[in-house]
Amino acid sequence: MDVGFLGLGRMGRGMVATLVSAGHRVRVWNRSPDTARDIAGAIPVGTAAEAFAGDAAITMLADDAALRAVIVEGGLLDRDARPSMHLSMSTISVALAGDLAAIHARAGIAYIGAPVFGRPDAAAAGTLNIIAAGDAAAIDRAAPLLDCMGTKTWRFGPEPQRANAVKLAGNFMLVAAIEAMGEAAAFAEGHGVPAGDLLAMLTGTLFASPVYKGYGALIAENRYEPPGFTLRLGAKDIRLVLAAAEAANVPMPFASVLRDNLIDAIAHGAGDKDFAALATVAARRSGR
């Protein structure tokens, strides 16, 4: 397929590489042009408009503001040369996803919400879990792209914003897991038990899942650099969770606790460290 890809951060670069390896023609654009020239087999283009065309366009931009600025304020939906479908794979707000679905419908472009679960290593390996929502026929047409970027595409119905609700729910649970491990590690160390010993046992038994194992190892080793996913981006996601919860009148008291602890971590210089650095808040508060 002829694909345009916008956004070449830690995740986007690996995703482009899997598309190129699968034989797709991929035009790439990034706000930092040098990044677009570094991916073997991809075709760098000078403007977002050149990338937002062809059989499909994929966006993996950092946040709501970036996506809105590039796609909506940049006028890409008003041009004659437009893609037949847009796969929005960023973690964005439920509200923006709903707005984009309506705007794309008016422009006659299929819009698919398709955020992902997985860190940069999974993106590079094509082993992401992809959450897809939107027109079923459009998702079927996008399957050759989704299948090479992920191990499974999980479908959640016709409204694209549902995919973003699922993504935010998952990220809330992920942050809660990191917070729980951080507090448990500080508690155990307060009683003379090394954090590494505690987390190795628990993540190999009661909590033997990828999130607990992966983040537990980082916490046990105090290994927060280089980041796979920054704590600052995680804080953005929790803000999105709280906004979407308020819009649906769903109380999420622990999400508020997580937000405050993330702000604490950022205030103490951990914003650009790995997400797992949230555990340093509990350690610091306990004098460790």
Residues recognised as catalytic:
167
Task: Return d(Cα 71, Cα 62) in angstroms, integer.
Answer: 13
Task: Return d(Cα 145, Cα 148) in angstroms, integer.
Answer: 6
Are 130 and 146 contacting, i.e. CB atoms less than 8 angstroms apart? yes
Task: Return d(Cα 227, Cα 204) in angstroms, integer.
Answer: 24
* Nearest alpha-carbon partner for 83 in 34, 164, 145, 33: 145
DSSP, res 154: E
Task: Return d(Cα 113, Cα 201) in angstroms, integer.
Answer: 38
* Nearest alpha-carbon partner for 112 in 146, 77, 78, 139: 139
> For helices 253-267 and 231-247, what crossing angle results, to 10°?
150
Are 96 and 86 contacting, i.e. CB atoms less than 8 angstroms apart? no
Alpha-carbon distance values, 143 to 15, 57, 136, 155 (Å): 14, 14, 11, 11
